[in-house]
Structure 1
Amino acid sequence: MLSGLRRRLLVMLLLPLVVLALLNAWFDYRSADNVAEQQDRRLAALVPLLADSVIGEAPHAGDPPVMLLAPALAEFLKDHNGSAVFAIADPDGHLLAGEPWLAAALAPTSPEPEFHTEENRGTTWRIVRQRQQTVLGEVMVALADGSDSRQQWARSILYKVLLPNLILIGAAAFAVGWAVERALAPLLALKEAVERRSPRDLSAFDDSRSPEEVRPLVQSLNRLFGMVNAHAESQRRFVADAAHQLRTPLAGLQAQVEAWAQAVDGHQPGSTLQLQAEQVNKLRGATRRTSQLANQLLALSRADARTMQNQPQQRVDLKALCEDMLGTHLDAASAKHIDLGLDAQPVQVLGHDWLLRELLSNVVDNAVKYTPAGGTVTIRCGLVGERALLEVEDDGPGIPVDERARVLERFYRVQGTGGEGNGLGLAIAQEIARVHHSQLVLQGGLHGRGLRLSVLLEPAPTMAAL
C-alpha cells in the first residue's frame, strides 16, 4: 500500500515538471523558428542593396566590377565578420565578385528570392539567391549567413533547455522522493508499530504524534482496539467470575467425597462396600479434576498480561520461593518415590510474588505428575550472566521437539499422555512469563532425557545500586 502511494505521489509531482520541460523546449523551438524567419526577411531585404552596390563595370578584363557597398549591407557584413559572405555572377554562372562556391549553384528559376541551407567549410549557411537588375544588366546575387539560427536551435535546445531541465527533473525527483519519504514516515512508523504489537497488546496509540491527515486512521484504530479490549475484558471477567463461583461448591463437594472415600476404604475385595469405594474414588478423581480446572481458569484470568501492566512489582526472593515449592510438593513426590531436589542460589527479581509462585507450582506439579516412579525432579534458581534463572528439570518421558511450542497453548495435551490434566498448567506459566517480559523455554533434560523448563527474569537491583 505504501509503495503504491509513494509511486503515485512521485508520478503526480514529477509529471507536471516533465510536461513543463517539454513545453519550454517547444516554446524555445518556436522562438528559434521566429528568429530564423526574421533573418530570412533581413537577408531578402539586403539582396537588392547588394545589387545596387554594383556601380560600374570592371576597369580591366577579369577584374571584379566596381562596387560601393550600401551602409546597411556593409554593417551586416562587418557585424558577422566572416560568417556572412556574398557572390555576384552573370546569368551563365560566371563569378563576377564574392565567394566562388556561392556562384557555383544553379541560378534562381524565378525573379523571387530562393532560400535554402547548405553545408560548406564545416558551417551550415542560410543562403538567399535572386535575379536582380544592375548597371551590368541582369545578374544573380547570393547572400549567405553562417549564423543561421536554424542550425543552432537543436544545439541550443539540447544544451540550454533540455539538459538543464533533465538535471532539474533529476534533482526534483530526488528532492520529491526525499520529501515523500519524510512525509510518509509517520505512516510507516504507524505500520511498524502495528506489526510489532503483540496480539495481546490492545493499548491505544498516541494520536497527538500523528500528522493531521493520519490522525483519523489512528483514532479509528484506537476505537477498534477499545472495542476489542472491552469484549476481551468482558470474557475475562466472565471466566474469572465463573471460576470463582465454582470454587466454593466444588470445594465443599470435594470435601464430602473425600470423607465418603475414607469411610468406604479398607473393606474386603468383592464386597458391596468395596464396589462402592471404586465408584467413590472415580467420583473423587472427577471432583479433583473439576476443582483443579476451576482454580486454573481463575489463575489464568488473573495472570493475563494486559490486566497486570499497571500492577506494582516488588522484590521476590527466588531461593525462598523454591524452598516453599519443595515443601509443598514433597509429599506428592514421596508418594511416587520421586527424588525432589533443590539447587538454589540466592537471587532476587522484580515481579509479582503470587504469580511467580503460581508459575513454579504449575511447572513442578507437571514434573511430579508425569515423571515415573523412582525418577528425579530438580528445582533450580540462580544467576546466569546478567539474568536470573528459574528452572525445573526432570528425567521423565519429556516432550517431543515438534510438540514443545504447542504444549504452551491452552487446553492442548500431547497425544498419548497419561494421568490427569487439563492442558492449562504450562499455558498459565507462559502467561506469567509474559507478564515478566520473558517466556518459558522448553529443552531436553540431562543426557537427552526428560524435560527442562526455564525462564530468565530481570534481577532486582542491589541495595548499593539503589
Structure 2
Amino acid sequence: MRELLRGRFARRLALAFAALGIGAAVLTALLVNAAFGARFDDYLAQQQHAREQQLAALFAGSYTRDGRWDAGSLDELAPSLAMTGSQAELRGPSGQLIWALDPGMAQMHQEMMGSQMTGTGPPGPPHEVPIIANGRRVATLIVRLPQGVVPAVDEEFRTAVNWLLIAGGAVAGLVALATGLVFARRATTPIAELTHAADDLAAGHRHRRAAVTTRDELGRLATAFNTMADRVEREDELRRVFAADVAHELRTPLAILRSQIEAIQDGLAEPAPETIASLHEETLRLSRLVADLETLASADAAAFTLDRQPLALDELVDETVAALADQFTEAGIMLRTDLRPVQVDGDAVRLRQIITNLLTNALKFVPAGGATTLTLRRVGQRAELSVADTGIGIPAEELPHVFDRFFRGQAARAKGSGIGLAVVAELAAAHHGQICVDSAPGRGSTFTLTLPARDEPRSHPSLQSGEHP
C-alpha cells in the first residue's frame, strides 16, 4: 500500500512536469502563430501596396505632357495586368471612366498561362490608388490584385511551423515526463521513508528512525522527526520508570496503613498515640505525592493561568526564605541570602513555587553542616536568581535530564517524586524565563533562574542579606 501511494504521488508529480512542458509548448505555438500572423499580414499589406504603387507609376507614364492620356500606352499595360490576374480601371477626377481592362482578355490570358502563374484565387477587394503626374493628381486607379498565391504560401508555412511546434511540444512533454519521473523519485524517496518511519513509530516501534539522506528541507524535517522520536522514546521510558517509582512509593505507606489498621481491627494492637502518629505520617506522605502530581499537571497550563502583576522579586524571595528557614535549621544547613532590588512582572504564587522548589531541592541533597546560598541581582534587562548549595552534586550523564519530566537521579530515588525541577522549568518558561544548572559530583550544584526585569527603577533601593543557621 505504501509503495502504491508513493507510486501514485510520483506519477502525479511526473505528469505535472509533463503537463507543464506540453502547456509551455502549446502556449509558445499560440504566441508564435499570433506574432507570425500579424507580421505576415503586415508583410502582405506592404507587398500589395508596393505592387499598387508600381501599377500607379506605370499608368502615370501613360499621361502625356500636354495633359492627355495615351490610349496606346494604356492598352499596352493590359497584357501585363491580365497575366497577373489583376483587374483595373482608370477614372478621372470627376469619376468618369478613362480606361478599363477587358474582363474577357483577363480570362483568356489566365487560361493561356495557367492558374499557377496568374493566381489561385479570385481578385481581392478594390483599392483606390491616386495617379500623380506633373505634380498633381490626374486620375484614380481602382485595382483588384489576386489574393491566391501569397496566402497559399502563407498557409503552407504556417502549417510547417505548427507541425514543428507540435513535434517540439511532444518532445518537450517526453523530456519533462522523464525528468519529472527522476525528480519525483528523488523527492518522494525521503517522503516515503519519513512516512514509513512515522507509521512504524505510531505502531509502537519506538526505536524506528528516518534515514537522513539530504541536507535540504526534507533532510531537516527527517532530523526533526528523529529528534521528536528520541524525545518520545525518552519520555516513554521516563513514564514507565516514574509509574514504577510512584507505585512503589504508594505501596509502602498503603501497606503500613493497612497493616496497622488491620492490627487494630483484629485487636492485636491498640490505637495508641504512637500508632495514630504513624498513620498520620503515612497519610501526609501520600498527600505530598498527590500534591506533587497535581502541581505538575497545573504547571502545564501555567502560561494560561498566570496572574501577572508588577512585584518586587527581592521581597518575594525574602518572604519565601523566611517561611522555609525552620526546615533548614532542623536539617542543620546554613541558608545565606544576598538579595538586590529587582522588579518583575509575574505571578507571585507561581514565582514563590519556583523558589520553594529550588530550596527544597537543596534540602534533599545537602548534608547536615552544609550551606545553601541564594543570590538575586539585575543583569542588564534580566533578573538573575541563583541557588547554590554544597550538596553531593549531579553526575554529568544526568545533567541534560535534570529538568525532564518524570526524571529522577539515582541519588533521589528515596527522596521524593522527582517532579519539583520539572515544575520549575515549566513555570520559568511560562514567565518567559530560563532555568539552568551547573553541577559536578562532590562540589555541589548551582541553579540559575533568569526572568525579564521591569524597566521602572525601585523608588527606595536597599539591600537584603542574612544568614539562617
TM-score for the superposition, normalised by structure 2: 0.42
Q: 1 or 2 for the larger relative contact order (CA 8 Å, sep ≥6)? A: 2
Higher helix share: 2
TM-score for the superposition, normalised by structure 1: 0.43
